[in-house]
Structure 1
Amino acid sequence: MYSNEDQQLAKKILNYSCELQEGQNVMLQLVGLNGIGLLRALVEETRAMNAHPFVQIEDTEIQRVLAETGDKAFWKNQAKVDQLPLMKNMDAFVGIRASLNIYEQANVSKKANKAYADYFADPVHFKERVNNTNWVVLRYPSEAFAMNARMPTQKFREFYYKACLLDYSELEEAMKPLQSRLEETDKIQLKGEGTDIEFSVKGQTWIPCFGKRNIPDGELFSSPIRSSVNGHISYAPSVYQGKPFEFVKLEVRDGVVIDFESSDDESLEEILDTDAGARQFGEFSFGLNPIIEEPMYDILFDEKIYGSNHLTLGNDYEIAPNGNESNIHWDLVCIGADVYLDGEKVREGRTFIADDLKGLNPEKLLQ
């Protein structure tokens, strides 16, 4: 059995996000057992479309054991024998993240994380899945997820489906004036409490996101000219590789992090020392989902917070590149900074004030 909301979500994922066609192959991956209802709905909807579901159900504690014990040889073999050949035959991919404990892999070592990233995640997901399938990833609601969002469970479920089932075609239209401006912009400045940073995006590619790759969605991203990033920036709470950070502050000179402060400096330093690209930035984005207001320790939601930006440490995306290569990609989120495009203030706090951009404010999108 599954809920009516899961049925609606399954239809949106397959028809709108993945654009699944008759006869195509789709991998349906459930990480954690909590989202089994949505998985059932996806399987039924896939078969109703006369397409072919390939189902993977992964237990998060087993995944923790594999992450803790896996080395180069193990992950290379896993990719070669199992996942990479299968992924090469997929037309679409749906990844449901349904873990009940976001800190499950908090004790996995840096060496083990690097082995997984280099020899499994990179060839299977970043190179094959991202570049050659119509893919979408999402989290699934739970009591634990609601607790991180500081909401009662039922209220959180209502919020979750409202954010996920947003009219993305309307959001797509509302993004167009901002994309047009950004395509003509050289310098971006963010100014707010604990934040005063600037960088160039001259000539960079801007990608609007409206429910095709993430659910929920609502962002417009590119990447900064690497050496142009200068200043300091303060980020909201975040979790990376199972490690929680209540705050992160970075000082940047000529595109490289030269100093930092956080609630866990030891773990942050370890992440920054992953490789040379980990101290540089591979993405910059505007968060634009009008339903999502506050951070909840889940980046698929937090990076979409309206009135936010994320200036991302690590690897760029091939679709909007700046040449930064790294084994990390950490979407740290800055909420409520004023935004200046070539010296013109276009957003004050979380509210767009330029006339052509006011359609992105929640009161307009949700009216």
Structure 2
Amino acid sequence: MYTSQDAQLAKKILHFSCELEEGQNVLLQLVGLNGVGLLRALVKEAREMNVNPFVQIEDTEIRRMLIENGDKKFWEKQAQTDQLPLMKQMDAFVGIRASQNIYEQADVSKKANKDYSDYFLKPVHLEERVNNTNWVVLRYPSEAFAMNAKMPTEKFREFYYKACLLDYSQLHEAMKPLEERLRKTDIIQLKGEGTDIQFSVKDQNWITCFGKRNIPDGELFSSPILSSVEGHISYAPSVYQGKPFEFVKLEVRDGVVVDFDSSNNDALEEILDTDAGARQFGEFSFGLNPIIKEPMYDILFDEKIYGSNHLTLGKDYEEAPNGNDSSIHWDLVCIGADVYLDGEKIREGRKFVTEDLQGLNPENLV
């Protein structure tokens, strides 16, 4: 039916992450049939809590077909008739991403992706779900996922559950000194191979992420002052809208991307031309999960890599806003750059060097 690890994970998601109470509603969405065991565990746990589960199961090929052939009118109808009214009744949302092929949507056109983002994803998820539910999104292990991580299947499964079932309360405590520093910071600078970029975060809000919204988790984020981002930055491998990028390099002036290079410049240019906000940044974050060491072409893991930062193209989050209302949100990850807060080096490569922040180094968390 489902594994004991799935049962543990279901309890963590519904009790710790979603903080559900008796009588509340939770939407359980499975995209890809691979994760049905975890879905079963979530349904069983929800009913034992006397919580009301609403279940959606989506085949990834059918989703691709809909996105390929959808348009503004279609997605407005989907949102307004079905998904938005349902989401408005939910107290929590759990999204399991269990696709066997991360490149399933690689051939979807720019217009089709934009229509889906603007008229469905944005109103249903980025505006309603993100802002008005206790939500959590996670991947599910598979042979294909293990291949992207360059691990044997069973070793990857062990890694997956270790990262997901981390002691997030301990991690939260270790984050607090960094959060305190960041709330007093004006200028952040990243310096490393192919990277020398700075920006202001003066008076911006900071959010600690410790298993409440993503599984696995471990990040501390805000957003840069829009016009303050200046310099150049190099990112690790990434996949966005089903399109792979072995590397991405951006040149930024007055907060706007003015030049770029990547392994797929045609696709990158399409993404950057989505709207005005797609060439600006809506989030900056520290990756802090001590279990996750290397990129695996999956942003829910890669953005949590310890010793990393992501400076995100596109829309901000309401709890840490900077005015970017783009229809994209692409978490691109920079690994191992030195980090300076108002001129003081706090991280050298991937290790925090000031005494108050050393609790965030992996050897002190696992």
Shorter-chain TM-score tier: over 0.9
Q: Match of 2:193?
A: 193
- Correspondence list, 1:1-367, <5 A: 1-366=1-366
CA shift at 1:248, angstroms?
A: 0.2
Aligned AA for 1:168? Answer: Y
Aligned AA for 1:291? Answer: I
How far apart, CA to CA, are the structure 2 residues paired with 1:129 and 1:271? 24
Secondary structure of residue in 2 paired with 1:150 = coil
CA shift at 1:171, angstroms?
A: 0.3
Secondary structure of residue in 2 paired with 1:89 = coil
Q: Kindly provide the CA deviation profile for residues 203-261 of structure 1, in whole angstroms up to 9, marking residues without a partner as x.
A: 00000000000000000000001111111000000000000000000000110000000
How far apart, CA to CA, are the structure 2 residues paired with 1:322 and 1:17? 26
How far apart, CA to CA, are the structure 2 residues paired with 1:256 and 1:217? 29
CA shift at 1:80, angstroms?
A: 1.2
How far apart, CA to CA, are the structure 2 residues paired with 1:271 and 1:61? 22
Aligned AA for 2:143? Answer: E
CA shift at 1:325, angstroms?
A: 1.5
How far apart, CA to CA, are the structure 2 residues paired with 1:126 and 1:265? 27
Secondary structure of residue in 2 paired with 1:35 = helix
How far apart, CA to CA, are the structure 2 residues paired with 1:211 and 1:18? 9
Q: Kindly provide the CA deviation profile for residues 48-71 of structure 1, in whole angstroms up to 9, marking residues without a partner as x.
A: 001110000000000010010000
Secondary structure of residue in 1 paired with 2:33 = coil
Secondary structure of residue in 2 paired with 1:312 = strand
CA shift at 1:162, angstroms?
A: 0.1
Cα root mean square deviation, aligned: 0.4
How far apart, CA to CA, are the structure 1 residues paired with 2:245 and 2:328? 16
CA shift at 1:273, angstroms?
A: 0.5
Secondary structure of residue in 1 paired with 2:50 = coil
CA shift at 1:169, angstroms?
A: 0.2
Aligned AA for 1:45? Answer: E
CA shift at 1:324, angstroms?
A: 1.0
Secondary structure of residue in 2 paired with 1:34 = helix
Secondary structure of residue in 2 paired with 1:309 = strand
Q: Kindly provide the CA deviation profile for residues 82-129 of structure 1, in whole angstroms up to 9, marking residues without a partner as x.
A: 111111111110000000000000111111111111111111111111
How far apart, CA to CA, are the structure 1 residues paired with 2:168 and 2:91? 22
How far apart, CA to CA, are the structure 2 residues paired with 1:312 and 1:210? 19
CA shift at 1:132, angstroms?
A: 0.9
Same amino acid, percent of matched pairs: 82
Aligned AA for 1:202? Answer: K
How far apart, CA to CA, are the structure 1 residues paired with 2:79 and 2:341? 44
Would you identify which runs of 4 or more consecutive aligned residues in structure 1 move more than 4 Å?
Answer: none
> Size of the alignment, in residue pairs?
366
Aligned AA for 1:57? Answer: I
How far apart, CA to CA, are the structure 1 residues paired with 2:293 and 2:329? 23
Aligned AA for 1:98? Answer: A
How far apart, CA to CA, are the structure 1 residues paired with 2:123 and 2:325? 14
How far apart, CA to CA, are the structure 1 residues paired with 2:271 and 2:127? 22
TM-score (norm 2): 1.00
How far apart, CA to CA, are the structure 1 residues paired with 2:179 and 2:29? 33
Unaligned runs of at least 5 residues, structure 1: none
Deviates more, 1:243-252 or 1:117-126: 117-126
TM-score (norm 1): 0.99
How far apart, CA to CA, are the structure 2 residues paired with 1:318 and 1:91? 18
CA shift at 1:81, angstroms?
A: 1.2
How far apart, CA to CA, are the structure 2 residues paired with 1:335 and 1:21? 39
How far apart, CA to CA, are the structure 1 residues paired with 2:200 and 2:28? 39
Aligned AA for 1:15? Answer: H
Secondary structure of residue in 2 paired with 1:212 = coil
How far apart, CA to CA, are the structure 1 residues paired with 2:234 and 2:140? 28
Q: Kindly provide the CA deviation profile for residues 306-362 of structure 1, in whole angstroms up to 9, marking residues without a partner as x.
A: 000000000111100011111110000000000000000000000000100000000
